[in-house]
Amino acid sequence: MPVKIDPNNPNNVVLDINESSVSGGGLTENIMGKNISNQDYELISNGINAQAKIIDIKNTGKTENINSVIQMTYEVQIPNKLYYTLTKEAPMSMQAFELAKGFIGKNVPAKVHPNDNNKVGLEFRPLSM
C-alpha cells in the first residue's frame, strides 16, 4: 500500500489522506475527512495548531474501500478564538474506530487548514499536558 511519511515526524504515516490510518505502531490515529486533497493535506499538516474535543463517534453503516464510514462530531478550539463544532464523515478500519471511540469526551491535537476552518486533521493521541 502507498504511504506518506511526515518529514518532520517519521512517526506520522498515512496510508491514504482521504481515509484514516494507524501510525506510530498503532498508538496514534490520524484522521483526515473525505474530500481532502494532497494540497489540503500539506496545508493542514503545516496549519494552525488547535485541539478538538471529541463529542460523538458512530458507524454510519456505509462502507468505502472496505472500511466503515464513521461520523464524528467534535469541537475545534483554535487558540484565542471561539470554539466551533464540526460533524464529518471519514472511512476507517474497525480497529481505528474502536481506538477513536476511546477518545469521546477527550481533547486531541488538531491542525486546521489556514484558509478553511472546516478542513481539520485530528491526531488520536492524548493531548500533551
Half-sphere exposure of 88 (CA within 13 A, CB side): 25
Cβ distance 95 to 23 under 8 Å? no
- pTM, two decimals, is 0.69
Q: What is the pLDDT of residues 13-44, one digit of tens each?
A: 654 334 443 333 333 445 556 666 676 667 67
Q: What local confidence, expressed as pLDDT, does residue 36 receive?
A: 64
* 119, part of any domain: yes
Q: Which amino acid is at 117?
A: N
Residues 95, 33: Cα–Cα separation, whole Å: 17
* 71, part of any domain: yes
Check residues 45 and 49 and name the one with the higher pLDDT. Answer: 49
* 100, part of any domain: yes
Domain residues for the domain of 66 are 4-124
* 129, part of any domain: no
* 109, part of any domain: yes
* 50, part of any domain: yes
Q: What is the pLDDT of residues 74-119, one digit of tens each?
A: 999 999 988 999 998 888 888 888 888 889 999 988 888 888 888 8
Q: What local confidence, expressed as pLDDT, does residue 28 receive?
A: 44
Q: How many domains does the chain have?
A: 1
